[in-house]
Amino acid sequence: MLTSEHVDLVTFTGGVSIGKYIAAKAVYKRQVLELGGNDPIIVLEDADLEEAAGLAARGSYANSGQRCTAVKRMLVQEGVAERFVELLVEKTREVKYGDPFDAAMDMGTVIDEPSARRFEAVVDEAVAAGARLLVGNIRRGALYSPTVLDRVTPDMNVVRHETFGPVSPVIRFKTVEEAIRIANGTPYGLSSSLCTNRLDLITRFIQELNVGSVNVREVPATGWKSRPSAGSRTRGSATRKASSRP
């Protein structure tokens, strides 16, 4: 199909390695590639922390974190990090997880047991490197609990690569410059969330983040479904845009 003269357009949703293979083989054809993401939520010191923690939890745990646009990194300014983490832990403990066929559950299993084992292993690795496990990291087969890690550093694999599960790693930062550097510090450039009320900083993050969308006081993929998908770098192919809550 990739090389057939009868195919004009190739679309693919999946992992980066397969996406790169398709891009290399399907030459001279139009391509739409929806690949990985490592989306950050960035919480600045003026943010409404109750709102920010709620957005972070929803963005991380919806669909068991198995979305390319899930929140996979939580960048929080140091002055408000303690309170944000307290609220995030509270909201994480409120998530009911279990049998995906039980309508009373908020979250079910992940795709398979090997994936759940991988989440467990990458969290264990982060804890061994100095991160603090505050809640979660409990696995039963393919069921993996909502998990919060604090004191994560940008070099840890739990945030360097796409976890694709219900893990909430918190990275603390001091300055806006540091937040932008950390956010742009992975090969992924799908989307992002920003919690602040300052228009000057919103404008700056839109200009300087290497992502397809900057969602202000909202999490990725909760806006208008008719808008085009966006991203950069190993995310795939797209355009830049910004969206915000009304």
217 HSE (CA, 13 A, CB side): 15
Measure the CA–CA gap between 26 and 48, rounded to whole angstroms.
Answer: 47
Query: Residues 68, 120, 162, 195: which is the catalytic one?
Result: 68
String of DSSP letters for 141-208: TTEE--EEEES--TTSHHHHS---SSEEEEEEESSHHHHHHHHTSSSEESEEEEE---HHHHHHHHHH
Amino acid at 164: F
Q: What is the dihedral of CA 154, 156, 159, 160, to 10 degrees?
A: 90
Joined together, the tokens standing for residue 144 give: 């993996």
| 66, 165 contact by CB (below 8 A) | yes
| 68 in catalytic set | yes
225 HSE (CA, 13 A, CB side): 0
Please give the positions annotated as active site: 34, 68
